[in-house]
Amino acid sequence: MHSSNSEKLQHSEFEYHVRIYRDEDRQQVHELFENAMFWQPHSPVRPFLKIIAKSSIQKALYFASAIGILLWPSYPRLGPAILLTAVAISLSQFILIVQLILKMTKKNLSDDLADVRGHYELIPSPETLGHGHEDLLPSGPKAFWVVEATHKVTGRTELAGCCGIDVRNEAKMDGELRRMVVSGRHLRRGVAAMIVRTAIAYAKSHKLSSIYLSTSMAQEAAIQLYKKFGWVEEKRRDIAVFGFTAQIVHMRLHLAEKFRSELESL
Ligand SMILES: CC(C)(COP(=O)(O)OP(=O)(O)OC[C@H]1O[C@@H](n2cnc3c(N)ncnc32)[C@H](O)[C@@H]1OP(=O)(O)O)[C@@H](O)C(=O)NCCC(=O)NCCS
């Protein structure tokens, strides 16, 4: 039987709660993001490498390597030359894709994540002013949340996930869900679901008409998460990367329709 998120949270050794980002979270948020892009089980790196490994270019290179090995005994110069060339081209395709994801990750870290407080327009909470630490509050429809995990026995806390709502076009009042990541240690415990619920409720309270996002076809866990909460796929955009085609998936959650159906059901 499939256990519900609340059951999963109950049986976890951690207690989770969602709160607004604070300045002191910066380092942990950066680490969460880097880990989620590379080392986490659902990071996009692994599926991209698998896709490349199965691509027609790689298949041709495996074939060329096999030919090189077969020719080696009869042609001691040509055989190894074919083998080494094929292996070098094959490896460089894998290295290039890892470098590309590394470059994109660094770009994201130097974009909104370099100054979460400024970018998401968070302002000091009047209640904590002068109390030694500073809680922040959103000043408008933009917001950035973290999930804090507290170990039930040791009381130690760490960040389990984060996500933000960005609003770039205030006239249309559409929000963008960005930087949704959960730490590898806290996966499948409903952490992402907690932030998504918070983000949807917040967007509704600010009368945003929809929340859009983009992800990649390699991020299957993320796609399933968004579908579960009502996001629909709008389009897929092909991008050619070093001899194979990757797809960027654009999704949108229509909140205005939800308002309408909620009003109709009253
Ligand atoms: C996607 C991600 C944020 C999900 O975090 P999570 O806390 O493990 O997700 P939850 O436990 O809250 O799961 C909520 C729902 O998401 C979907 N989901 C989560 N992980 C999944 C997986 N591995 N396979 C399929 N569906 C999955 C399910 O629908 C799940 O509901 P269910 O538990 O009732 O089946 C996490 O895997 C992650 O950080 N991935 C790498 C970074 C990334 O791709 N971020 C998205 C950027 S656009």
CATH of the domain at 249: 3.40.630.30
C-alpha 44 – ligand 1 centre gap (Å):
13
For a pocket test of ligand 1, which of 182, 198, 223 has the largest count of ligand atoms closer than 8 A to its C-beta? 182
Regions of the chain short of the pLDDT cut 70? 1-11, 130-132, 170-172, 257-266
Pocket of ligand 1 (CB under 6 A): 36, 40, 42-43, 180-182, 187-193, 215, 219, 221-222, 224-225, 228
Residue 262's pLDDT is: 58
Residues 6+ apart with CB under 8 A from 92: none
Q: Is 230 left (phi over 0), alpha (psi -120 to 50) or beta?
A: left
Query: Which phi and psi angles does 217 have, rounded to 5°?
Result: -65, -15
User: Which residues are paired to 177 by β-bridges?
Assistant: 165
The protein residue whose alpha carbon is closest to atom 4 in ligand 1 is: 192
Amino acid at residue number 36: A
Residue 47's pLDDT is: 86
Across 55-152, the runs of DSSP E, i.e. the strands, are: 122-124, 136-138, 143-151
The protein residue whose alpha carbon is closest to atom 28 in ligand 1 is: 225
- Percent helix, strand and coil across the chain, each to the nearest 5: 50, 25, 25
User: Which residues are paired to 157 by β-bridges?
Assistant: 150
Domain ranges, residue 36:
5-264
Residue 263's pLDDT is: 47
Residue 66's pLDDT is: 97
Overall domain count for the chain: 1
The C-alpha atoms of residue 181 and residue 60 are separated, in whole angstroms, by 36
Residue 243's pLDDT is: 72
The C-alpha atoms of residue 64 and residue 83 are separated, in whole angstroms, by 7
C-alpha 146 – ligand 1 centre gap (Å):
16
The protein residue whose alpha carbon is closest to atom 22 in ligand 1 is: 221
Cα 258 to Cα 25, 163, 211, 253: the distances in Å are 33, 22, 12, 9
